[in-house]
Structures are given as structure tokens and as C-alpha cells.
């Protein structure tokens, strides 16, 4: 962990040096570098390229993230090296006009989110976010900072989904470092067995401990309803559809009121990004057509190329995650129906374009079943 602190604090030194030299900007720079009101307390990551810290900003608990790479690079292989420092803030260049910068943003967003009718609204949102001093203009430092940040998948999603209830709030940024609200419970389960201990700790034991440590069933039902709402939010939104490419319990969190909050958005990718990754990709079988951990398409063995549509929808992946989480401790008068609905849900498959109505029906049935049980109670 000492090595990680060195990586981060060296990066922090460079960040503040760039800020003082006018190379970068951001709404958190002054608090981080001058006022010292944004402070780091505890490292939550185990990689120099995935730096996540718990901290305080004016006594408010926050999460500080920096230097985080996308889970899959262009070749489908996890990145292992930090981005070169010199190339971080290389665009736009001096002399770029506001119209040219807006066109840069529009082209970038189109490439990452697909052709959406509301992209111009998102461009305006990005410009407003970049304009830290609110003078109606975007300086070169402001433009370089927001451009670098948009290349971090989670940051891009936070901007695109900022009005969604179950997305953590973006609180500020400085260069390519950004600050979000802290999700108190950052996983569905409290106990996470480190990978190096999984061989010696039986899965049944860790599962039993998590059952014992879990919130009461009505509270788990409330968290589940929020997670299902998130699936709805990203299915067809203003800026296209998004795919959950690693439905892990360690990416789904909740707050003190048991409202679901996505603790980690790095496993979520735009449908356009996944399609672009799969298009023209050489394959021998379906295992060669995977984005992230589990966004899988089929391999056309005749032409040895991946098809571009993912075959398992978000809802099926989430329901697989929820089977254990929801069924233990479920009320006896509900358990049979709940098992049946979850079983239907996990078998959902097929192209999203051909199953939208069925998808919505299954999701709404499950949500209604849970809501009826906890409505008009202290848990609703």
C-alpha cells in the first residue's frame, strides 16, 4: 500500500503543479491544492492505475478517484500501465476556437454514445461543467481538463446519467482527478473475501456469514427495487442504452436509507461502445466475443467475426445476482412467487431490439411483487 500512496501523492504533486502553472483547472483544484479543505484519508484500491481514496471535503465524506483506466482497452486486455503524463492534457491545443471545441466534444460523444438526438444538450452540459469560473467562456486549461476527464468511462457516465437517482453525484474535479459522493455501503454484501484467501475459505462459509450480516429482508427488497429502477434508467435513456458488463455485488451499493446507489460504474458501458468493440472482431467461438467480464455476443463461425448485439440483457444478469440476495429470509407467503419470477428473469435472452416488451413486463412484475410487500410499512 505504501507504493500506492507514493504513486498517488506524486500524481497529486504533479496535479497541483499543473494547476498552479495554469495547465489544468477544475472546481476542486483550489480546495485540493490551496485551501487544503479536500483531504485524503484512506486508500481503497490495490492498483496504481485504479486509485480510489476515501476523503473529506469540508467535513463531507467523499470519494476521490484519479488515473483510472477503462476496464478493457481496444484489444480487450486490461490496462496495466498508467497513461503517459505528457499526453494527458494534450488536447485541445492553443488556438482552438469554442466552435471547434464543441465539434470535438460532439464527435467524441457520438463515437462513445452513438448518434443520439440530444447530444447537443450533453455538449452544453459538458461546457457548463468545464466553465469553472462561470465567466461564460472555456479557457484552454478548463478545456484540457474536461477533455482528459471525458476519456475516463465512469466520469463520462456520471455526466450522461447525472440526473438519475441511482448514480452517485459528481461533486467536483481537478485535471483528471474527480470527486464523488461517498456511498456508505459500497457492496450488496458486507464481507468480501480477498482473492488470495478464496482457496482456503469455503464459499458456503462466506455466503452464510453474508446472510447473517445482511440487512433485514424488507430493506434488501427496497435496495432491489432501486437496482431494478437503475436497470430501467439505463435501458433506453436520453443518451442511448447502457450495458452492465460485470454484474458484481461489489459494484452495487446503498446509502443509510437503503436507497440503491451504484458504487462503481466502470462495469457499465454504452451500447455504442460495446458494438464498436465487437464490430469486425475476429473469433473462433462465443468466448472470443466478450466485452468486459460478461457482455457476450455470438460468433459468426462462417465469417469468423463477432456479431455486435449482446445476447444477455442487463435484467437477466441482475436477477442472477439477486437470486441469493433476495431469496434467503424471504417471507414464506412470497417465496414461491419470488422464485418463479426470478427464474423467468434469469432465463431472459435474445437481442434487446426483439424483446423490449417482454423485458419491461418481467421487470415490472418483479418490482410490483416486492413493492406490494413493503408498501405502507416503515421500509417503503
pLDDT greater than 60 at residue 353? no
| pLDDT value at residue 222 | 96
Summary mean pLDDT of the chain: 85
| pLDDT value at residue 91 | 84
pLDDT greater than 80 at residue 220? yes
| pLDDT value at residue 58 | 87
What residues are paired with 57 via a beta bridge? 38, 60
What's the rounded Cα separation, in Å, for the pair 205 and 275? 40
Lowest average pLDDT, out of 76-90, 122-136, 366-380, goes to 76-90
Query: Strand 268-270 vs strand 290-291: parallel, antiparallel, or unpaired?
Result: unpaired
What's the rounded Cα separation, in Å, for the pair 107 and 144? 16
What's the rounded Cα separation, in Å, for the pair 304 and 335? 45
What's the rounded Cα separation, in Å, for the pair 168 and 324? 25
Q: How confident is the model at residue 379 (pLDDT cuts 50, 70, 90)?
A: low
Question: Span 339-348, mean pLDDT?
Answer: 93
Residue 136 sits at φ, ψ, to 5 deg, of 80, 5
Over the stretch 13-55, which tens digit does the pLDDT of each residue have?
788 999 999 999 999 999 999 999 998 888 777 665 668 889 9
Q: How confident is the model at residue 269 (pLDDT cuts 50, 70, 90)?
A: very high
| pLDDT value at residue 67 | 64
In this structure, are residues 119 and 110 in contact, taking their beta carbons and an 8 Å threshold?
Answer: yes
Radius of gyration of the chain (CA): 22
Cell numbers that stand for 333 in this block: 407467503
Place of cell 438519475: 164
Q: How confident is the model at residue 255 (pLDDT cuts 50, 70, 90)?
A: very high
CA 178 to chain centre: 14
Lowest average pLDDT, out of 49-63, 117-131, 153-167, goes to 49-63
In this structure, are residues 290 and 278 in contact, taking their beta carbons and an 8 Å threshold?
Answer: no
The SS3 of residue 209 is helix
Q: How confident is the model at residue 257 (pLDDT cuts 50, 70, 90)?
A: very high
pLDDT greater than 60 at residue 178? yes
DSSP state at residue 154: H
HSE-up of residue 362 (Cα within 13 Å, Cβ side): 23
What's the rounded Cα separation, in Å, for the pair 322 and 324? 6
CA 90 to chain centre: 26
pLDDT greater than 70 at residue 200? no
| pLDDT value at residue 264 | 87
Question: Span 351-361, mean pLDDT?
Answer: 69
Lowest average pLDDT, out of 86-90, 193-197, 217-221, goes to 193-197
pLDDT greater than 70 at residue 6? no
What is the DSSP track for 68-117?
Answer: PPPSS-TTS----SPPPHHHHT--SPTT--HHHHHHHHHHHHHHHH-S-T
5-34: string of b/e by CB count within 10 Å (b at 16+)? eebbeebbeebbebbeeebbbbbbbbbbbe
Q: How confident is the model at residue 107 (pLDDT cuts 50, 70, 90)?
A: very high
pLDDT greater than 50 at residue 237? yes
Residues 6 or more apart in contact with residue 287 via CB below 8 angstroms: none
| pLDDT value at residue 194 | 55
In this structure, are residues 89 and 144 in contact, taking their beta carbons and an 8 Å threshold?
Answer: yes
Lowest average pLDDT, out of 112-126, 140-154, 203-217, 235-249, goes to 203-217
HSE-up of residue 121 (Cα within 13 Å, Cβ side): 8
Number of C-beta neighbours around residue 142 at 10 A: 22
Question: Span 205-228, mean pLDDT?
Answer: 86
pLDDT greater than 80 at residue 302? yes
pLDDT greater than 80 at residue 191? no
Q: How confident is the model at residue 378 (pLDDT cuts 50, 70, 90)?
A: low
Q: How confident is the model at residue 96 (pLDDT cuts 50, 70, 90)?
A: confident
Question: Span 169-178, mean pLDDT?
Answer: 94
Amino acid at each position: 500500500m505504501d507504493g500506492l500512496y507514493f504513486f498517488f501523492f506524486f500524481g497529486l504533486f504533479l496535479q497541483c503543479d499543473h494547476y498552479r502553472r495554469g495547465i489544468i483547472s477544475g472546481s476542486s483544484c483550489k480546495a485540493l491544492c490551496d485551501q487544503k479543505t479536500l483531504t485524503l484519508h484512506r486508500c481503497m484500491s490495490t492498483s496504481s492505475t485504479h486509485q480510489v481514496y476515501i476523503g473529506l471535503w469540508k467535513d463531507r465524506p467523499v470519494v476521490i478517484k484519479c488515473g483510472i483506466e477503462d476496464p478493457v482497452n481496444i484489444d480487450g486486455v486490461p490496462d496495466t500501465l498508467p497513461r503517459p503524463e505528457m499526453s494527458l492534457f494534450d488536447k485541445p491545443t492553443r488556438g482552438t476556437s469554442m466552435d471547434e471545441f464543441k465539434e470535438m466534444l460532439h464527435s467524441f460523444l457520438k463515437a462513445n454514445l452513438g448518434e443520439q438526438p440530444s447530444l447537443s444538450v450533453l455538449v452544453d452540459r459538458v461546457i457548463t461543467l468545464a466553465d469553472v469560473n462561470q465567466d461564460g467562456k472555456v479557457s484552454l486549461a478548463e478545456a484540457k481538463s474536461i477533455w482528459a476527464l471525458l476519456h475516463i468511462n465512469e466520469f463520462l457516465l456520471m455526466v450522461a446519467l447525472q440526473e438519475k437517482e441511482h448514480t452517485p453525484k459528481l461533486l467536483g474535479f481537478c485535471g483528471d482527478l474527480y470527486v464523488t459522493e461517498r456511498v456508505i455501503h459500497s457492496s450488496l454484501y458486507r464481507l468480501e473475501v480477498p482473492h488470495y484467501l478464496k482457496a482456503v475459505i469455503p464459499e458456503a462459509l462466506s455466503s452464510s456469514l453474508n446472510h447473517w450480516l445482511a440487512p433485514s429482508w424488507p430493506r434488501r427488497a427496497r435496495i432491489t427495487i432501486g437496482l431494478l429502477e437503475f436497470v430501467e434508467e439505463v435501458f433506453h435513456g436520453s443518451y442511448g442504452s447502457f450495458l452492465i458488463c460485470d454484474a458484481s455485488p461489489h459494484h452495487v451499493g446503498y446509502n443509510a436509507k437503503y436507497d440503491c446507489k451504484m458504487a462503481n460504474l466502470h462495469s457499465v458501458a454504452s451500447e455504442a461502445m460495446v458494438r464498436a468493440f465487437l464490430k469486425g472482431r475476429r473469433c473462433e467461438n462465443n468466448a472470443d466475443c466478450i466485452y468486459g467480464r460478461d457482455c457476450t455476443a455470438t460468433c459468426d463461425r462462417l465469417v469468423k467475426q463477432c456479431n455486435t448485439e449482446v445476447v444477455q440483457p442487463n435484467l437477466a444478469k441482475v436477477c442472477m445476482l439477486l437470486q441469493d440476495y433476495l431469496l434467503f429470509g424471504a417471507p414464506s407467503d412470497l417465496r414461491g412467487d419470488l422464485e418463479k419470477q426470478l427464474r423467468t428473469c434469469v432465463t431472459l435472452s435474445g437481442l434487446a431490439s426483439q424483446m423490449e416488451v417482454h423485458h419491461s413486463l418481467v421487470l415490472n412484475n418483479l418490482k410490483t411483487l416486492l413493492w406490494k410487500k413493503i408498501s405502507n410499512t416503515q421500509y417503503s
